Structure formats: structure tokens, C-alpha cells
Amino acid sequence: MNIKLNSRDPVYIQVIRYFKEQIATGILEPGQEIASRRELANKLKINPNTAQRAYKEMEEQGLIFTEGNLPSRITKDEVIIKHVREELILEAVNTFIASIQSINVSLEEAVELIKKNYHKNPNEQEGNQ
Amino acid sequence: MNIKLNSRDPVYIQVIRYFKEQIATGILEPGQEIASRRELANKLKINPNTAQRAYKEMEEQGLIFTEGNLPSRITKDEVIIKHVREELILEAVNTFIASIQSINVSLEEAVELIKKNYHKNPNEQEGNQ
DNA sequence: TAAAGTGTATTAAGCATATAATACACAACA
DNA sequence: TGTTGTGTATTATATGCTTAATACACTTTA
């Protein structure tokens, strides 16, 4: 469970994003059981209600499903899973392009920056006001 | 005044970011007068207190300064101005890299995506849940 | 001089988020 | 059979952000 919570964004949003990443990379497999609400809350030191809110929303989005009162599981719908990855990529690309265009960074400059920083250890990186 | 406010982030944060972009691109020049709190609030249809909060924070960060009760002005400190642009770029790059690495997108794939989407009309783009 | 426009400050209310503390029905299991 | 662990739900409280409504001191200007 390698998730860092920031204090900017709503916690339940960050939890959902974390699961989307795990699903997109295949770390969480179709049909796989996930932590219960209480278990997740314990691990992340968050409130069980917040965990419940995240799971409820993921259920509404079809990312997970629940049968009876068994622990929830990752969807088996491959279409949804594929869509999750594409959605995350598209969002990242669009956000990045909007950011650099707003300050007149050229395509060449942007590509150079990505190449230069891609292999850096994140701990060496600065930024994020 | 070309600023779109979303409902995700705090308004005063978005206002600060907007001014940083204007400063970074040189659209707002050193020493230039900016809209008064009330004027800005009117233009953006936000509360004067929110405008005041944004300006106060920008003043604390050295981005603007105020003499007497004249309209505030953009800082004349070129070091700060240069730093603003670098900060925005670094933040965009680091955020993007973190996002794509979290879903195992390769450097090559990432560069391709940037190249493919850079010249697209933003209105054609999708995403942003 | 009076009006209008500055920056600055205070108080109150509403909303979303997060936490806290419970509660209940159900199923597995020791 | 009772305990434990599921999902699910409700009520209350606190905090941050936003809006609203004022207020005051100071300049400029008509």
C-alpha cells in the first residue's frame, strides 16, 4: 500500500485515483478482492466513512463490485479497465499541455524537459508549491 | 481577462496561478498596475474578499507590491519573475512525469503523446473527469 | 469640500470535506 | 451459539473556502 495523501485534494478523490492506477497497471487484477472499508481506513489512517465514500463512488463508476457483504472486488469488465488507463493518460497529457502552453513553452522545449527529467529519482526533484 | 475558473480548486489559488502565468509570459510587466480588488472581483464575478485573499498572498510571495492605497503593481524584481516561470514549468513537468510513471507509460510513449496533442485545439480534447 | 475609488479589516452564514461515534443486517467461523 | 468481520447508514462536529455585508482610513478628483 504505497500511497501518499496530500492535503490539497479531497482524500476520497485521492483514494479513487490510487485504485485507478492500480487497475490501469494490472497490479489489481479483474475479480481480485480489495481491502475492506475498515481495513483500508486503518492502513491509510483515514476515517472509515471516507473509505466508504471512495468505494461507493468506485462502485458507481463500475470499477469495483460488491456481492452480499463480502469484500468488494475489482471489476471483470475489460472494457472499463482499458478505459481507465486511457482516461488517466489523456488527463495527464491534456493537463500538462495546457500548463506549458499557458506559459509559452514550445513543443521542443517541453519534450526536452520530459526527456531530461523522466529518469530522475522523484526524491531529487523539487517543485510543487 | 481570459480566465476560466473550475470548481475543483480554491478560487484564490486559481487567481494566483493566473497572475503567475501572466507574469511568466511577460503579459504583465514589472511595475505594471493591476486591477484593484473590487475591479477584479467584478470582472471574475467573485467576492472581493476572495480577490483580496489572492492579492494578499501574492504580496506575501513578493509577486506584487502596494504603495499607500494605490492599485497594486507587479514586482520589479527580475529574479522573482524569472523564478515564477521556472517554478511553473518544473511543477508541470514533475506532475506530468509522476502521473504517467504511476501507470507505466514509457518515455517514448509519453513523448509521442505530447507531440501528437500539442497542436490540437483544446476544445477538441477530452478528459478531465 | 464632497464623492468616488483605493487598500484593509471584521463578522456572519453556507457548503463540501473529513472525522468521530454509533448502529444494524448479514455471513463466516470457531 | 456467539464472535468477528463484512457492507451500509445516520448524526454530530470541525475546518477550509466562499460569499455577503459592512466598516474605516486615505487619495484623487470633480
A52 in a structural domain = yes
Mutate to test the interface with A, among B19, B91, B114, B119 (most CBs of A within 10 A): B114
Examine residue B6 and state whether it is found in any structural domain, yes or no.
no
In a domain, B109, yes or no: yes
A20 is near strand C: CB distance < 7 Å: no
Does residue A109 lie within any of the structural domains?
no
Q: Does residue A116 fall inside a structural domain?
A: no
Domain range for A71 is 11-103
- Report how far residue A41's alpha carbon sits from residue B75's, in angstroms, rounded to the nearest whole number: 46
Pairwise CA distance, residues B28 & B34, whole Å: 8
Does residue B19 lie in a domain region? Answer: yes
Indicate whether B4 belongs to any domain. Answer: no
- What CATH number is given to the structural domain containing B50? 1.10.10.10
Task: Give me the percent of chain A exceeding a pLDDT of 90.
Answer: 88
Interface residues on A facing B, Cβ-Cβ cutoff 8 A:
21, 24-25, 85, 87-105, 107, 110-111, 113-115, 117-119, 122, 125-129
User: Over the stretch A32-53, which tens digit does the pLDDT of each residue have?
Assistant: 999 999 999 999 999 999 999 9
- The 10s digit of each residue's pLDDT in B1-59 is 789 999 999 999 999 999 999 999 999 999 999 999 999 999 999 999 999 999 999 99
Name the nucleotide nearest A36; use CA and C1': D6
ipTM value:
0.89
What's the total number of domains in chain B?
1
Q: How far is B97 from chain A (nearest CA, A)?
A: 6
Residue B26, domain member (yes or no): yes
